[in-house]
Structure 1
Amino acid sequence: LKVGGSVQITASHNPAVYNGLKISRKGALPVGENSGLRDLEDMVYNGTVTITKSPGKVVDKPVKDAYLDFLRAYVPDLTELDLSIDLSHGMANLLAKDLLGEHHHYLYDHFDGTFPAHEPNPLEEENCKDIKAAVLENKSDVGVIFDGDADRVMFIDEKGRFIQPDYITAVIGEYFLAKKKGNVLQDIRTSRSTTEYLEKLGGRVTTWKVGHSYAKTKMKEIDAIFGGELAGHYYFKDFNNCDSGMLAALIVLQVVAKLHAQGKTFSSLIDTIVTYANSGETNFKLQQKDEAMAALYQKYAVEQTPLAVLDFDGYRIEFADWWFNVRKSNTEPYLRLVAEARTEALLAEKVGEISRIIKSFS
């Protein structure tokens, strides 16, 4: 459209009463807390409003067909695949059947902003029960589930297992690295399994802060070919460094179709990627978040000798056989913990140890 900015009305995976504005400036760069949003807030509350003498005009510009044309270049041959797809009563309904066809096993395939079936947040296991059951009942090769505004997507393998989204970063990263070696962006919570898998393929992996405004800006800064987050956001150089749940889904379906043609399953690829025991993200609701983080830093970064300490989004403290990240939520009153270790036993030991420290501040 060659415009100087954009505004999207969305509540993401939340009910409509939480609708807000997602703002971008020229070049599709996000306007976030540290990149213009505070300036806008100051202008709204303290600026002087001057009514123009020559008002502009509103022009309707349909973009759906152009977006579909862009996405169709990524649609694989799906004739041999059995797919179960949960559209979560959300915006994926606008595109899914145009791209994938009508004949798959669709769940909640009409718009309903009250989201009667389940909260449109596939990161919560409770919301994936129906798609898991559908995959097993239909003997599908893969299950796909979108969030409410379809900027995120997550996957279920043919065994009915939810695939942790940072492992999908490895799947999509491999797709792009096979075409051209380059930089890949991951967030600070990402599994070592993913990092090591991508590095073996020739990827140069950069770790950065959690959040779309940080990711999109860093993607452009390092000229990344692709980026992924634990929350299920996937960012593409070929899509102006922006995230698209539908584009991510199409690329994963390409991978699954190729595996199927080789007589392989989606789960076999995931099992190749995953080489560490991972806790997933655990939330602790407490008031003394800063004090808890300081105590963890003292114990693990000061009193011990870690291999590395990343401190740009909470702390990620790395040891030879395990690591953890603890960070404050940007949007909720939680302290979030992710940990990973070479063995389940070591993981259980460290998660228990860290959890006790955190809970002592509740």
Structure 2
Amino acid sequence: MGAFHAYDIRGVYNKDFNKNDVYRMGYFLPRLLNTNKILVGRDARESSPEVYEYLVKGINDAGADVFDIGLATTPLVYYTTAKLGFKASVQITASHNPREYNGLKISRENALPVGYDAGLKELEQLVKSGEVVVAEKRGVVTPVKVKEEYLEFLRGKLQDISNLKIAVDCSNGMAGLFIHQILGDAPAYIYDDVDGTFPNHEANPLVQENVADLKALVAETGSDIGVIFDGDADRVMFVDEKGRFVSPDLIIALLGHYFLKDMPAGQKVLQDIRSSKAVGEYLVKHFGVEMHTWRVGRAYAAIKLREIDGVFGGELAGHYYFRDFFYSDSGILASILTLNVVADFKRKGVAFSQLVDEIGTYHNSGEINFKIQQKQEAMDAIKKHFEETETPTAFYDFDGYRIEFADWWLNVRPSNTEPYLRFLAEATSEDKLNKIVEQARQIIASYK
């Protein structure tokens, strides 16, 4: 069984895990999280009904009760977990992965993530070798109705965006459950019917071919902004009015205009180790923030934001975390706040693309994936090579390596979920960036 990862349980259903594995996961969850009440939601994938059935059976056989939220976005499950005081919750989803995948995102009290280092490793061992004894008094299933309250929460964040023309791609994912009820009928929508077979494109907005239809829609409708969600709506990404994909890390800086404009200097903001140097430079210049850099993934970011009591934070992958959303991530909430900022700037005569260009001052390679076995050796070789050519100004080693220099920086890190070494670099000039990338390619090639 190869479904246990750093952030969650995920894999090809009936290959990496099956219904019997799910049953055992459900059975041992109450013991792992020390509770007899577990909230459960699910996405619309073809395998989700079966995963739900066997997860619930396992939980109930352990003598614990299931509180069923039904079809849900992942952030709805986070919201309900924290708002209603559940000590454990599970969202059945494989997020942005193709239709044959499924998985479980597990949270504990206050919607804190349960990652591999914080419980999933123990659960994996229990699933492999723990003894199942059906409780004399099995648990029961009770529906939970919280969707309207959640919608009211989200609508309460929406300001006047009536001056915007908006294009939205829901990727046939779970954002389609709510988006019309929040943004109304004015935006131009595509793929807003919830369909777990993902008939139009995979629900991963980081893959540019999946954004092509949104770019075309922005051009066709003359929209000020395009919005695209992933499969479970915990991530969101954007296209500007020129049809250009906006690097998700730059939105961290943009959100400063929503959260920080009326706050004193010194507020804490979180970014991941791959985020553009431009993000911190912009937020420090305009708002005097205290930037914090941390590891990639909700299992780390949500906990870190709570630890530093940061106002908000984000990742290159399009996750955005908010203190007033229980330090959790929400694609729909992030889209609402971004639309608020873009609408405000449009009233001042500043287009979305102009704001993005003011933030993003570096040339960026994007994340480049290398499929190699000797990941650590390749990382060490890159570190040694570049530190011998220039003197670093900063160095981070908690999630791969991030090495900063006077006018450029790089990050090289092993993927937590896939068999790749990931490399990313930024520089103030395109020529410099191209040379860095080529040198890195040559170094990594020797470790295949």
Q: TM-score, normalised by structure 1?
A: 0.97
Percent of aligned pairs sharing the same letter? 56
Give 2:255's aligned residue. Answer: 172
Residue 128 of structure 1 deviates from its aligned partner by 0.8
* Letter of the 1:128 counterpart: V
* Letter of the 2:417 counterpart: T
Give 2:175's aligned residue. Answer: 92
Say if 2:14 is the partner of 1:14. no
Give 2:279's aligned residue. Answer: 194
Give 2:229's aligned residue. Answer: 146
Say if 2:194 is the partner of 1:111. yes
SS of the residue corresponding to residue 143 of structure 2 reads: coil
Say if 2:334 is the partner of 1:239. no
Q: Distance in 2 between matches of 1:140 and 1:3?
A: 41
| Consecutive unaligned residues in structure 2, runs of 5 or more | 1-83
Say if 2:411 is the partner of 1:325. yes
Q: Distance in 2 between matches of 1:50 and 1:39?
A: 18
**What are the Cα deviations for residues 174-212 of structure 1, in whole angstroms up to 9, with x where unaligned?**
321124341111000010111111112111110000011
Range 159-168 or range 346-355, more displaced: 346-355
Range 49-58 or range 95-104, more displaced: 49-58
Match 2:340 to one of 239, 254, 273:
254
Give 1:80's aligned residue. Answer: 163
Say if 2:443 is the partner of 1:357. yes
Q: Distance in 1 between matches of 2:118 and 2:365?
A: 33
Contact 2:295 2:399 in 1 (8 A): yes
Give 2:123's aligned residue. Answer: 40
Q: Distance in 2 between matches of 1:252 and 1:19?
A: 30
Q: Distance in 2 between matches of 1:45 and 1:334?
A: 27
SS of the residue corresponding to residue 126 of structure 2 reads: helix
* Letter of the 1:27 counterpart: N
Residue 275 of structure 1 deviates from its aligned partner by 1.5
Q: Distance in 2 between matches of 1:49 and 1:313?
A: 37
Contact 2:410 2:425 in 1 (8 A): yes
Range 168-177 or range 332-341, more displaced: 168-177
Q: Distance in 1 between matches of 2:349 and 2:392?
A: 43
SS of the residue corresponding to residue 79 of structure 1 reads: coil
* Letter of the 1:233 counterpart: H
| Pairing 1:249-328 to 2, within 5 Å after superposition | 249-301=335-387, 304-328=390-414
**What are the Cα deviations for residues 292-323 of structure 1, in whole angstroms up to 9, with x where unaligned?**
11211222346753112111001001111111
SS of the residue corresponding to residue 30 of structure 1 reads: coil
Give 1:122's aligned residue. Answer: 205
Q: TM-score, normalised by structure 2?
A: 0.79
Q: Distance in 1 between matches of 2:88 and 2:262?
A: 31
Give 2:111's aligned residue. Answer: 28
1:61–1:347: structure 2 CA closer, same or farther, 3 Å change rule?
same
Contact 1:85 1:144 in 2 (8 A): yes
* Letter of the 1:186 counterpart: Q
Q: Distance in 1 between matches of 2:395 and 2:345?
A: 38
Contact 1:31 1:37 in 2 (8 A): yes
Contact 1:13 1:149 in 2 (8 A): yes
Match 1:221 to one of 307, 330, 335:
307
SS of the residue corresponding to residue 44 of structure 1 reads: helix
Give 2:24's aligned residue. Answer: none
Contact 1:174 1:198 in 2 (8 A): no
SS of the residue corresponding to residue 148 of structure 1 reads: coil
Say if 2:242 is the partner of 1:159. yes
**What are the Cα deviations for residues 28-66 of structure 1, in whole angstroms up to 9, with x where unaligned?**
111001111111112222333333233332211112111
Contact 1:177 1:202 in 2 (8 A): no
Range 75-84 or range 172-181, more displaced: 172-181
Residue 80 of structure 1 deviates from its aligned partner by 2.0
Q: Distance in 1 between matches of 2:273 and 2:141?
A: 41
Contact 2:227 2:237 in 1 (8 A): yes
Could you list the runs of 4 or more consecutive aligned residues of structure 1 that deviate by over 3 angstroms after TM superposition? 301-304
Q: Distance in 2 between matches of 1:251 and 1:103?
A: 17
Aligned residues: 362
